[in-house]
Amino acid sequence: MGRGKIEIKRIENTTTRQVTFSKRRGGLIKKTKELSVLCDAQIGIIIFSSTGKMWQWCTEALRMEQIIERYQITTGARIAERDHPREEFIHDMAMLRQETLRLELGIQRYLGEDMGCLQYEDLNKLEQELENSVAKVRNRQNELLQQQMENLRRKERILEEENNNLSTWEQRAVLEFEKARMEASKGMNVMDEFSLFEDQPAGSILQLASPVLPHFHPYLQLAQPNINPHQDTNICFKT
């Protein structure tokens, strides 16, 4: 099936119109180059998009000005040159000088200088403008101060949280240290009790140590010794 014919009319969609313009502009320039090379023709193309952007192409070894000049000679038409008249130029310069002078006078008046020629109404107007300017400056200063205060409060809250965390950690560390110290001290007391009975018989030591040993290992059970002065003393631990 062949391609259907496209109705030649303005494309309403901006994106579609721009895409079509780019594609067809490239195709037009390509066909123009082929025509110039194949037929040794001198061609110049100037294209303006809907946004005002310009594209141009002319036969190689020529310039667009030469193509336009040849067109003018052939048709007898002249493109009007836009010469800036001297009088208009002088008028524009005078207007720029007046505007510059007015701005300089306004700056001097805001600085409190060259106010001798001002009338009472002009001074009131200038005073009101200065008061409005000062009010805007103060409002901006207050906004910046509020922002700085908020930042300082935020930093203060962060520092307080960090300080509280450090205090909690320090208290926990102290408690852990005291607990470890008490356990170590308890163990030392038990060892001291055993050292006092180094020269005592084994039976008496076991009788004294029986309430202490369970603290060292909850799974050890002390068996009743068979104490006989004529037999060896055997101690067994049942696990």
Residue 232 lies in a domain: no
> Number of folded domains in the chain?
2
Residue 196 lies in a domain: no
Given 79, 94, 126, the domain boundary residue is: 79
Question: Per-residue pLDDT tens for 50-65?
Answer: 888 888 999 988 888 8
Computed from CA positions of residues 106, 111, 116, 122, in that sequence, does the dihedral angle turn out positive or negative?
positive
Range of the domain at 54: 14-79
- Residue 59, domain CATH: 3.40.1810.10
45 shares a domain with 92 = no
68 shares a domain with 27 = yes
Question: Per-residue pLDDT tens for 172-220?
Answer: 888 888 888 888 877 666 555 555 545 555 555 445 444 444 444 444 4
Q: Please give the mean pLDDT across all residues of the chain.
A: 76
Residue 200 lies in a domain: no
Whole-angstrom Cα distance, residue 11 to residue 23? 14
Range among 2-6, 118-122, 142-146 rated most confident: 142-146
87 shares a domain with 75 = no
Q: What is the pTM of this model?
A: 0.33
Is the pLDDT assigned to residue 234 strictly greater than 80? no
